[in-house]
């Protein structure tokens, strides 16, 4: 959730017309990382941990709401951003995702050794199985990412999608010109 929050702060600055290319690149990379982190969170939590989490809440309504919000809200928001934006996932960025997975695994290891309790019932860090599971999960989710790259190119860079997007931009530009000319009291000229 922290990465998603950081990402949305970067979004606020990246949407400015004077945003630097460095900021836009950081926005793109953070988007890709948060998209995958939320995809992993949603898929792992809902497939293997949700029922246990609800039992731990012991009927406390605030804790139940937190279970749902913390595992749906960030994922929903990042997928909505993907659907509404023109960001295309880049296959070459797949190289950065194992670094994120390693950092997360190390953090999980430190938490488990400090608390003495596994964060996930299937990853207890007592033998070789946990690093092997992390490697397997990382490999599977990297393949998912590459598939999402292909889908994003098909959805957002095909000629029909580009044409529709350009039509929307042209329509908005015509409206802005019309409003501007109306405010200045000049005759209106439509763009061709």
Per-residue model confidence as pLDDT tens digits over 38-58: 888 888 888 888 888 888 888
Q: Kindly report, residue by residue over 103-129, the tens digit of the pLDDT.
A: 999 999 999 999 998 888 888 999 999
Domain that holds residue 33: 1-87
Residues 6+ apart with CB under 8 A from 96: 29, 32, 33
Angle (CA) 89 93 97, round 5°: 110
The per-residue pLDDT for 162 is 65
Q: What sign has the CA pseudo-torsion 98, 99, 104, 106?
A: positive
The per-residue pLDDT for 187 is 59
Domain-located, residue 125: no
User: In percent, how much of the chain has pLDDT > 70?
Assistant: 93
Domain-located, residue 96: no
Domain-located, residue 158: no
What pTM value is reported for the model? 0.70
Total domains in the chain come to 1
Contact 94, 142 (CB under 8 A): yes
Alpha-carbon gap, residue 102 to 31, rounded angstroms: 18
The per-residue pLDDT for 142 is 95
- 88 three-state secondary structure: coil
- 123 three-state secondary structure: strand
């Amino acid at each position: 959730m922290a990465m998603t929050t950081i990402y949305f702060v970067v979004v606020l600055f990246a949407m400015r017309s004077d945003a630097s290319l460095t900021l836009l690149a950081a926005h793109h990379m953070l988007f890709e990382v948060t998209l995958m982190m939320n995809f992993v969170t949603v898929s792992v939590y809902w497939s293997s941990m949700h029922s246990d989490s609800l039992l731990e809440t012991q009927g406390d309504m605030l804790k139940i709401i937190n279970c749902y919000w913390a595992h749906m809200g960030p994922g929903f928001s990042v997928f909505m951003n993907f659907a509404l934006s023109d960001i295309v996932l880049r296959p070459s960025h797949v190289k950065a995702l194992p670094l994120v997975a390693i950092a997360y695994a190390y953090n999980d290891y430190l938490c488990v050794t400090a608390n003495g309790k596994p964060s996930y019932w299937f990853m207890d860090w007592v033998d070789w199985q946990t690093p092997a599971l992390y490697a397997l999960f990382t490999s599977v989710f990297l393949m998912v990412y590459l598939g999402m790259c292909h889908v994003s190119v098909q959805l957002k860079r095909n000629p029909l999608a580009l044409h529709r997007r350009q039509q929307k931009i042209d329509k908005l530009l015509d409206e802005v010109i019309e409003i501007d000319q109306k405010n200045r009291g000049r005759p209106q000229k439509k763009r061709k």
